[in-house]
Amino acid sequence: MPALEIRTAKATDVDAIAQVLGISFYQPPHPLLRLLTQWFHPLVRWGIAVDLGTRLQEGHVHHLCLVAVQTQASPQVIAVLEVSVRQQFWVAPMPYLYNLAVAPPWRGQGVGDRLMLAAEKVALSWGYPAIYLHVLESNRAALNLYRKRGYVYLRPDPQWQPFPWRQGRRLLLKKSLQ
């Protein structure tokens, strides 16, 4: 397991977080598509940075962006996870995890697990008995992590419509924190 610090994101982390999110969520799998869309990635990262920067500046009491920083050599942000209270699919507002992303060289080393543990502790400190997240059905690595952490399948997202660039259904998962 790498030497890590899990902490709240700072404004100075926004560009590094945008880089991790851009690589994780907006990198086409096919090399030819990557070549054709490489000009688009700086714009995607810029959009992510603006969006995240706005969320961090708003300082909502029930929103937290956590980062994992590798502490060996020169410290750098290698992973991110956001948690906030949402009233989207539930009767009452509940904590929701999103934007879990780990830079490719650091995947499979327990970084996502440590971020999720920290986010679950935050949700408990806010007084909530459960936490939710969505995952694409095709994302086997994430599904394995979530199952290992005790998340259970509730239902598919009825509002998610697959398009050619969306890979399968989006599933809603829940974990009891008590």
**According to the 3-state scheme, what is the secondary structure of the chain?**
CCCEEEEECCHHHHHHHHHHHHHHHCCCCCHHHHHHHHHHHHHHHHHHHHHHHHHHHHCCCCEEEEEEEECCCCCEEEEEEEEEEECCCCCCCEEEEEEEEECHHHCCCCHHHHHHHHHHHHHHHCCCCEEEEEEECCCHHHHHHHHHCCCEEEEECCCCCCCCCCCCCEEEEEEECC
Q: Which pLDDT belongs to residue 55?
A: 78
User: Which of the residue ranges 10-14, 116-120, 156-160, 166-170 has the most confident prediction, judged by mean pLDDT?
Assistant: 116-120
Q: Which pLDDT belongs to residue 127?
A: 94
Mean pLDDT of 128-147: 91
Average pLDDT, the chain: 83
Q: Which pLDDT belongs to residue 28?
A: 58
Whether residue 83 has pLDDT greater than 90 = yes
Q: Which pLDDT belongs to residue 85?
A: 92
Mean pLDDT of 64-68: 93
User: What pTM does this model have?
Assistant: 0.82
pLDDT class of 26 with cuts at 50, 70, 90: low
Digit-coded pLDDT (tens) for 89-124: 556 889 999 989 999 999 999 999 999 999 999 999
pLDDT class of 51 with cuts at 50, 70, 90: confident
